[in-house]
């Protein structure tokens, strides 16, 4: 609640989020988030000390995110409602939802996540409709996501690869490669605005701690994230709990009980539904 009290106090005493226009250039803890700061200005002046107002507003944002996630899963599973509902239920009760709903600043997470989901939906639409305009929309949503929360800069490589592989007709390979560079330019804009206009550090972690980019750390976190997606619990304890490998044979056996079914279902879905449809189109 400390962050919430700080934001609410600053908003009413000339500090962070105290004005609508200045909210587009203000920072907090060394972080520049011009998409969510104006929203914080609105809610702090709308609800004031009414904690219930923040909670219901954040709950509404969370419902929006779960709805967008459900729509994305529905599209990717070709209209399978049972899988869609299961995925939505899992998203609705995830541990991150508690912070997003119960904390005043939790809306930062929800707004950023909404733009991430819109990015993914736009990419999916670009693939199925084979229209370049959807990739434009994806880059626009990515721009809003990265200026909502800097962690989502990691979507840049995904968007670049998605553009390179998109089943869309470009005039030439050079044009396709140029289009794939657009997400990189969007990510660079975040760096340029922060360092040259706002004059803050590009990478700032919790508590205003300045961070430095590390290729090895980036690859390591990506590896841990991908392994976690298929049910193998790994990575630093403060992020993922107990590493399966640290429990020896027992941990690996339990992990296999999750990994094998999840991978099998994923491969079956791709082989049975998605690949034939791609070949027809």
Read off the DSSP letter of residue 210.
Answer: B
Tell me: pLDDT of 218 over 70.
yes
What average pLDDT does the structure give for the chain? 84
Are the C-beta atoms of residues 168 and 132 closer than 8 Å to each other? Answer: yes
**pLDDT of the residue at 253:** 81
- Name the residue among 119, 152, 122 with its Cα closest to residue 33: 152
**pLDDT of the residue at 278:** 47
Here the tokens at position 264 are 């099998």
- Say how far residue 143 (Cα) sits from the centre of its chain: 12
Are the C-beta atoms of residues 263 and 229 closer than 8 Å to each other? Answer: no
**pLDDT of the residue at 190:** 93
Q: CA–CA separation, 146 vs 153, rounded Å?
A: 5
Identify the band that residue 188 occupies on the pLDDT scale cut at 50, 70 and 90. Answer: very high
Here the tokens at position 60 are 């509404």
pLDDT, one tens digit per residue, over 152-185 is 998 999 999 999 999 888 888 999 999 999 999 9
Identify the band that residue 120 occupies on the pLDDT scale cut at 50, 70 and 90. Answer: very high
By percentage, how much of the chain surpasses pLDDT 70? Answer: 88
**pLDDT of the residue at 34:** 93
Here the tokens at position 268 are 């079956």
Higher-scoring residue by pLDDT: 137, 278: 137
Q: Where would I find the H helices in the chain?
A: 2-11, 37-47, 51-76, 81-92, 96-102, 107-129, 132-146, 155-165, 173-180, 182-192, 215-229, 237-240, 248-269, 275-280
pLDDT, one tens digit per residue, over 232-272 is 777 776 666 677 777 777 777 877 887 787 777 767 766 66
Are the C-beta atoms of residues 158 and 119 closer than 8 Å to each other? Answer: no
**pLDDT of the residue at 148:** 95
Rounded mean pLDDT of 208-217?
73
Residues near 161 by beta carbon (within 8 Å), at least 6 away in sequence: 180
Rounded mean pLDDT of 85-102?
83
Higher-scoring residue by pLDDT: 95, 20: 20
Tell me: pLDDT of 150 over 80.
yes
CA distances to 24, 34, 251, 262 from 189, rounded to whole Å, are 15, 13, 44, 38
Rounded mean pLDDT of 209-215?
73
Are the C-beta atoms of residues 17 and 8 closer than 8 Å to each other? Answer: no
Instruction: Name the maximum alpha-carbon separation found in the chain.
Output: 62
Tell me: pLDDT of 277 over 90.
no
Q: Residue 129, SS3?
A: helix
Are the C-beta atoms of residues 68 and 46 closer than 8 Å to each other? Answer: no
């Amino acid at each position: 609640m400390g962050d919430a009290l700080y934001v609410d106090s600053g908003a009413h005493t000339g500090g962070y989020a105290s004005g609508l226009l200045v909210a587009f250039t203000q920072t907090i803890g060394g972080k520049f988030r011009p998409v969510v700061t104006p929203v914080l200005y609105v809610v702090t002046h709308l609800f004031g000390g009414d904690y219930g107002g923040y909670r219901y507003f954040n709950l509404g944002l969370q419902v929006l995110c779960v709805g967008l996630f459900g729509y994305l899963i529905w599209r990717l599973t070709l209209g399978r409602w049972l899988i869609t509902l299961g995925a939505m239920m899992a998203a609705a009760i995830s541990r991150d939802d508690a912070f997003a709903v119960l904390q005043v600043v939790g809306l930062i997470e929800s707004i950023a996540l909404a733009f991430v989901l819109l990015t993914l939906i736009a990419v999916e639409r670009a693939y199925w409709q084979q229209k370049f305009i959807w990739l434009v929309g994806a880059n626009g949503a990515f721009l809003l996501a990265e200026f909502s929360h800097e962690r989502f800069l990691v979507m840049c490589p995904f968007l670049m690869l998605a553009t390179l592989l998109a089943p869309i007709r470009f005039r030439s390979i050079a044009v396709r490669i140029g289009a794939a560079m657009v997400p990189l330019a969007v990510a660079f804009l975040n760096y340029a605005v922060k360092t040259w206009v706002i004059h803050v550090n590009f990478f700032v972690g919790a508590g205003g701690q300045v961070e430095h980019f590390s290729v090895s750390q980036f690859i390591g976190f990506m590896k841990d994230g991908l392994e976690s997606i298929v049910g193998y619990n790994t990575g630093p304890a403060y992020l993922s709990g107990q590493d399966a490998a640290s429990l020896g044979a027992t941990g690996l056996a339990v992990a296999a009980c999750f990994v094998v079914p999840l991978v099998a279902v994923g491969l079956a879905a791709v082989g049975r539904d998605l690949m034939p449809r791609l070949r027809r189109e």
